Amino acid sequence: MSTQPREINWADGEGYNRYIREELRSFRRDAWKKQIGRRVRPEAGQRILDVGTGPGFFACILAEEGFNVTAIDNSDAMLTCAASNAKALGVAPDFIKMDLEEMSFPDESFAAVICRNVTWTLRNPEKTYRDFYRLLKPGGALLIYDANWHMYFFDDGLYAKVRERERQCLRRFGRDEIVAVGSPGMFREAPLTSTPRPAWDKAMLETLRMDVSVTEDVGRDVYEPWEKYLYAESPLFEIYGVKTAPGRDCP
């Protein structure tokens, strides 16, 4: 994939940052802490990697919970927003500019890897998932939060439903939100945009001998009412994978 579509979409971090700041001021801040806390807990000296941190929502709330957080993003604008949000909250994650598809950390660097609304963009998801596995310590946890965000571009009926939800969201909640946007080039070149998920993710991680579980709709616990309505055609799922511990059959 050329970098141009992603650079255009993420060139200005401020639009997304407004949403993140709204999250940080709402119940969603604690709701996400509770959701993630079901899977991973901070332990002394252990590091967690936030992949594609954007304006730093996960990095900030995990640092508040006592995690040793490293957070990466390939956008200078996003990282500027993330640093500002962290400073406002009095936390200090380690923010690094890095392409998530070219991660250069040593093997087994992290006790956990986490990301939200990022994996659908991957040019080569198989390679990146293998990198996630490589970066985890034995027994480490992988947490992926994502959705079939752009499946409606490949299904006319679904597209019509999404457009109607956009109209009704404005009428019901006063939120003028557009879901069905993006670069056609990105959708053609990012294979997970047209791949049914989370079935693909689960199968891929199981080829790496990870123990994997799926929660199909975590939005019911972490979304505002308007988000539950607007995103109902693309439920937010959780992929939770645990790297095979020593002594198990590793790839």
Contact 70, 94 (CB under 8 A): yes
DSSP state of 180: S
As a dihedral over the C-alpha atoms of residue 132, residue 134, residue 139, residue 145, rounded to 10 degrees, the angle is 0
Cα separation of the two ends of the chain: 28
For residues 169 and 163, give the distance between their C-alpha atoms in angstroms, rounded to a whole number: 10
Give the residue-averaged pLDDT of 231-250.
83
pTM over 0.95: no
Mean pLDDT, the chain, whole residue set: 91
Query: Residue 84: is it exposed, middle or buried by C-beta count within 10 angstroms (0-12/13-18/19+)?
Result: middle
Contact 64, 89 (CB under 8 A): yes
Contact 180, 166 (CB under 8 A): yes
Query: Residue 251: is it exposed, middle or buried by C-beta count within 10 angstroms (0-12/13-18/19+)?
Result: exposed
Fold annotation for 4-151+184-242: Rossmann fold (3.40.50)
Model confidence pLDDT, tens digit, residues 118-149: 999 999 999 999 999 999 999 999 999 999 99
* Domain regions of the chain by residue span: 4-151+184-242
Residue 172 has pLDDT above 70, yes or no: yes
For residues 49 and 251, give the distance between their C-alpha atoms in angstroms, rounded to a whole number: 22
Give the residue-averaged pLDDT of 203-225.
97
CA distances (Å), origin 112, targets 48, 101, 138 = 5, 17, 10
